[in-house]
Protein backbone atom coordinates (compact mmCIF):
# COMPACT_ATOMS: atom_id res chain seq x y z
CA UNK A 1 0.00 0.00 0.00
CA UNK A 2 1.42 3.36 -1.03
CA UNK A 3 2.26 5.68 1.84
CA UNK A 4 0.24 8.92 2.01
CA UNK A 5 3.48 10.60 3.05
CA UNK A 6 5.64 9.56 0.09
CA UNK A 7 5.59 13.05 -1.43
CA UNK A 8 6.48 14.63 1.89
CA UNK A 9 9.35 12.17 2.37
CA UNK A 10 10.74 13.22 -1.01
CA UNK A 11 10.59 16.87 0.02
CA UNK A 12 12.27 16.07 3.33
CA UNK A 13 15.00 13.98 1.72
CA UNK A 14 14.44 11.09 4.10
CA UNK A 15 12.35 7.93 3.82
CA UNK A 16 11.12 6.68 7.17
CA UNK A 17 11.63 3.03 8.05
CA UNK A 18 8.62 3.26 10.37
CA UNK A 19 6.17 5.78 8.95
CA UNK A 20 4.14 5.71 12.15
CA UNK A 21 6.85 7.93 13.56
CA UNK A 22 6.30 10.48 10.80
CA UNK A 23 2.55 10.26 11.33
CA UNK A 24 3.04 10.97 15.02
CA UNK A 25 5.18 14.01 14.18
CA UNK A 26 2.33 15.37 12.07
CA UNK A 27 -0.36 14.83 14.72
CA UNK A 28 -1.45 18.02 16.45
CA UNK A 29 -2.87 17.79 19.96
CA UNK A 30 -6.26 18.99 18.67
CA UNK A 31 -6.50 15.86 16.50
CA UNK A 32 -5.78 13.64 19.50
CA UNK A 33 -8.43 15.40 21.59
CA UNK A 34 -11.10 14.89 18.93
CA UNK A 35 -10.36 11.30 17.91
CA UNK A 36 -10.81 8.28 20.13
CA UNK A 37 -7.97 5.82 20.03
CA UNK A 38 -5.36 8.46 19.18
CA UNK A 39 -3.24 8.52 22.31
CA UNK A 40 -0.12 10.38 21.18
CA UNK A 41 0.49 13.76 19.53
CA UNK A 42 3.70 15.49 18.49
CA UNK A 43 4.47 17.49 21.64
CA UNK A 44 7.11 15.10 23.02
CA UNK A 45 8.71 14.74 19.60
CA UNK A 46 8.86 18.53 19.37
CA UNK A 47 10.92 18.58 22.57
CA UNK A 48 13.31 15.95 21.21
CA UNK A 49 13.54 17.53 17.76
CA UNK A 50 14.47 20.91 19.19
CA UNK A 51 17.50 19.38 20.95
CA UNK A 52 18.52 17.25 17.96
CA UNK A 53 18.26 20.20 15.57
CA UNK A 54 20.51 22.28 17.80
CA UNK A 55 23.17 19.56 17.79
CA UNK A 56 22.97 18.89 14.05
CA UNK A 57 23.08 22.61 13.23
CA UNK A 58 26.02 23.26 15.57
CA UNK A 59 28.00 20.34 14.12
CA UNK A 60 27.35 21.45 10.54
CA UNK A 61 28.32 25.07 11.23
CA UNK A 62 31.47 24.07 13.12
CA UNK A 63 32.61 21.94 10.18
CA UNK A 64 31.51 24.29 7.39
CA UNK A 65 32.80 27.63 8.71
CA UNK A 66 36.22 27.00 10.32
CA UNK A 67 37.06 30.72 10.31
CA UNK A 68 34.01 31.86 12.28
CA UNK A 69 34.29 32.52 16.00
CA UNK A 70 31.87 31.31 18.67
CA UNK A 71 29.67 34.42 18.61
CA UNK A 72 29.23 34.29 14.85
CA UNK A 73 28.50 30.57 14.91
CA UNK A 74 25.91 31.16 17.63
CA UNK A 75 24.15 33.77 15.51
CA UNK A 76 24.00 31.44 12.53
CA UNK A 77 22.68 28.58 14.65
CA UNK A 78 20.06 30.88 16.16
CA UNK A 79 18.91 31.84 12.68
CA UNK A 80 18.75 28.24 11.48
CA UNK A 81 16.81 26.99 14.48
CA UNK A 82 14.57 30.04 14.99
CA UNK A 83 10.82 29.62 14.94
CA UNK A 84 10.56 32.04 12.01
CA UNK A 85 13.04 30.08 9.89
CA UNK A 86 11.50 26.70 10.72
CA UNK A 87 8.02 27.99 9.88
CA UNK A 88 9.28 29.43 6.59
CA UNK A 89 11.00 26.19 5.60
CA UNK A 90 7.94 24.14 6.60
CA UNK A 91 5.78 26.39 4.43
CA UNK A 92 8.16 26.03 1.48
CA UNK A 93 7.91 22.22 1.53
CA UNK A 94 4.14 22.25 2.07
CA UNK A 95 4.31 20.59 5.48
CA UNK A 96 0.98 22.12 6.52
CA UNK A 97 -1.01 20.08 4.03
CA UNK A 98 0.07 16.88 5.82
CA UNK A 99 -0.76 17.98 9.37
CA UNK A 100 -3.41 16.00 11.23
CA UNK A 101 -5.54 18.66 12.89
CA UNK A 102 -8.77 18.74 14.81
CA UNK A 103 -11.79 20.24 13.04
CA UNK A 104 -11.69 23.49 14.97
CA UNK A 105 -7.97 23.98 14.41
CA UNK A 106 -8.35 23.22 10.73
CA UNK A 107 -11.24 25.65 10.30
CA UNK A 108 -9.26 28.48 11.89
CA UNK A 109 -6.27 28.14 9.55
CA UNK A 110 -4.20 25.68 11.55
CA UNK A 111 -2.48 24.31 8.43
CA UNK A 112 -0.77 27.64 7.81
CA UNK A 113 -0.32 28.81 11.42
CA UNK A 114 3.36 29.54 12.02
CA UNK A 115 3.44 27.96 15.48
CA UNK A 116 1.97 24.69 14.14
CA UNK A 117 4.47 24.60 11.29
CA UNK A 118 7.40 25.28 13.62
CA UNK A 119 6.30 22.59 16.07
CA UNK A 120 5.75 20.07 13.28
CA UNK A 121 9.14 20.78 11.70
CA UNK A 122 10.89 20.13 15.02
CA UNK A 123 8.76 17.04 15.56
CA UNK A 124 9.67 15.64 12.15
CA UNK A 125 13.36 16.05 12.94
CA UNK A 126 12.79 14.31 16.27
CA UNK A 127 10.97 11.47 14.51
CA UNK A 128 13.80 11.12 11.98
CA UNK A 129 16.29 10.87 14.83
CA UNK A 130 14.30 8.05 16.44
CA UNK A 131 13.93 6.36 13.06
CA UNK A 132 17.45 6.73 11.68
CA UNK A 133 19.63 8.30 14.36
CA UNK A 134 21.62 11.46 13.74
CA UNK A 135 22.07 10.38 10.13
CA UNK A 136 18.30 10.55 9.60
CA UNK A 137 18.00 13.96 11.21
CA UNK A 138 21.01 15.22 9.28
CA UNK A 139 19.47 14.18 5.96
CA UNK A 140 16.45 16.41 6.58
CA UNK A 141 18.65 19.24 7.81
CA UNK A 142 20.79 19.10 4.68
CA UNK A 143 17.79 18.87 2.35
CA UNK A 144 15.53 21.60 3.73
CA UNK A 145 17.50 23.81 6.11
CA UNK A 146 20.95 24.26 4.58
CA UNK A 147 19.54 26.56 1.92
CA UNK A 148 19.30 29.16 4.69
CA UNK A 149 23.10 29.28 4.71
CA UNK A 150 23.49 30.41 1.11
CA UNK A 151 24.28 33.94 2.28
CA UNK A 152 25.70 33.92 5.81
CA UNK A 153 26.51 37.64 5.68
CA UNK A 154 22.85 38.35 4.96
CA UNK A 155 21.88 36.22 7.94
CA UNK A 156 24.17 38.30 10.15
CA UNK A 157 22.48 41.46 8.91
CA UNK A 158 19.02 40.12 9.59
CA UNK A 159 19.85 38.54 12.94
CA UNK A 160 19.22 41.66 15.03
CA UNK A 161 16.66 43.84 13.23
CA UNK A 162 15.93 45.90 16.37
CA UNK A 163 19.61 46.71 16.76
CA UNK A 164 19.97 47.63 13.10
CA UNK A 165 16.95 49.91 13.24
CA UNK A 166 18.10 51.63 16.42
CA UNK A 167 21.57 52.22 15.01
CA UNK A 168 20.14 53.71 11.80
CA UNK A 169 17.67 56.01 13.55
CA UNK A 170 20.15 57.23 16.15
CA UNK A 171 22.86 57.92 13.59
CA UNK A 172 20.61 59.87 11.24
CA UNK A 173 18.20 61.65 13.55
CA UNK A 174 19.40 61.04 17.13
CA UNK A 175 16.09 59.38 17.98
CA UNK A 176 15.19 56.07 19.61
CA UNK A 177 12.51 53.77 18.14
CA UNK A 178 9.68 52.81 20.48
CA UNK A 179 7.46 49.74 20.24
CA UNK A 180 3.71 49.73 20.85
CA UNK A 181 1.53 46.64 21.24
CA UNK A 182 -1.57 47.25 19.13
CA UNK A 183 -3.27 43.84 19.13
CA UNK A 184 -3.31 40.57 21.03
CA UNK A 185 -5.45 37.82 19.52
CA UNK A 186 -6.09 34.09 19.66
CA UNK A 187 -6.54 31.54 22.47
CA UNK A 188 -4.27 31.67 25.51
CA UNK A 189 -2.17 28.72 24.30
CA UNK A 190 -1.58 30.30 20.88
CA UNK A 191 -1.58 34.09 21.18
CA UNK A 192 -0.65 36.29 18.24
CA UNK A 193 0.82 39.69 19.10
CA UNK A 194 0.97 42.68 16.74
CA UNK A 195 3.41 45.51 17.37
CA UNK A 196 4.11 48.88 15.72
CA UNK A 197 7.38 50.80 15.61
CA UNK A 198 7.00 54.45 16.57
CA UNK A 199 9.56 57.10 15.69
CA UNK A 200 8.77 60.58 16.89
CA UNK A 201 5.21 59.36 17.49
CA UNK A 202 4.71 58.13 13.91
CA UNK A 203 4.22 54.46 13.00
CA UNK A 204 6.73 53.13 10.46
CA UNK A 205 6.49 49.35 10.70
CA UNK A 206 4.12 46.65 11.90
CA UNK A 207 4.89 43.04 12.74
CA UNK A 208 3.20 40.00 14.26
CA UNK A 209 4.48 36.97 16.11
CA UNK A 210 3.79 34.29 18.68
CA UNK A 211 5.36 36.44 21.39
CA UNK A 212 6.06 40.14 21.84
CA UNK A 213 9.75 39.83 21.07
CA UNK A 214 9.09 38.10 17.75
CA UNK A 215 6.48 40.72 16.85
CA UNK A 216 8.91 43.54 17.69
CA UNK A 217 11.60 41.98 15.51
CA UNK A 218 9.22 41.72 12.54
CA UNK A 219 8.06 45.30 13.10
CA UNK A 220 11.67 46.51 13.27
CA UNK A 221 12.51 44.67 10.05
CA UNK A 222 9.55 46.31 8.26
CA UNK A 223 10.40 49.75 9.66
CA UNK A 224 14.04 49.46 8.57
CA UNK A 225 13.02 48.68 4.99
CA UNK A 226 10.73 51.72 4.96
CA UNK A 227 13.13 54.16 6.61
CA UNK A 228 16.52 53.15 5.20
CA UNK A 229 16.05 54.97 1.84
CA UNK A 230 14.97 58.23 3.56
CA UNK A 231 17.22 61.23 4.13
CA UNK A 232 14.73 62.81 6.51
CA UNK A 233 11.63 61.77 8.37
CA UNK A 234 8.57 63.26 6.69
CA UNK A 235 5.84 64.72 8.81
CA UNK A 236 2.85 62.42 8.59
CA UNK A 237 -0.31 61.69 10.47
CA UNK A 238 -1.55 58.16 11.21
- In angstroms, the CA 82 to CA 26 distance is 19
CB-based contacts of 121, cutoff 8 Å, min separation 6: 49, 86, 87, 89, 90, 95
CB-based contacts of 24, cutoff 8 Å, min separation 6: 40, 41, 42, 45, 123, 127
CB-based contacts of 68, cutoff 8 Å, min separation 6: 61, 76
**231 flagged as catalytic:** no
**Marked catalytic residue, from 119, 122, 131, 218:** 122
**50 flagged as catalytic:** yes
**Marked catalytic residue, from 23, 46, 50, 218:** 50
- In angstroms, the CA 19 to CA 194 distance is 38
- In angstroms, the CA 116 to CA 108 distance is 12
Catalytic residue numbers? 50, 122
Amino acid sequence: MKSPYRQLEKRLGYRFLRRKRLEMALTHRSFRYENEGVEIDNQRLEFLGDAVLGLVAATHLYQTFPDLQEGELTKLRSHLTSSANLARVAEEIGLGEFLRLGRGEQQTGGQTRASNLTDAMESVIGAAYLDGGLRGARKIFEKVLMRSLDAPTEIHAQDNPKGRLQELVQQRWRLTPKYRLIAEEGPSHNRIYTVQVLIRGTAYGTGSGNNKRAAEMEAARAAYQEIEPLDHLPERQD
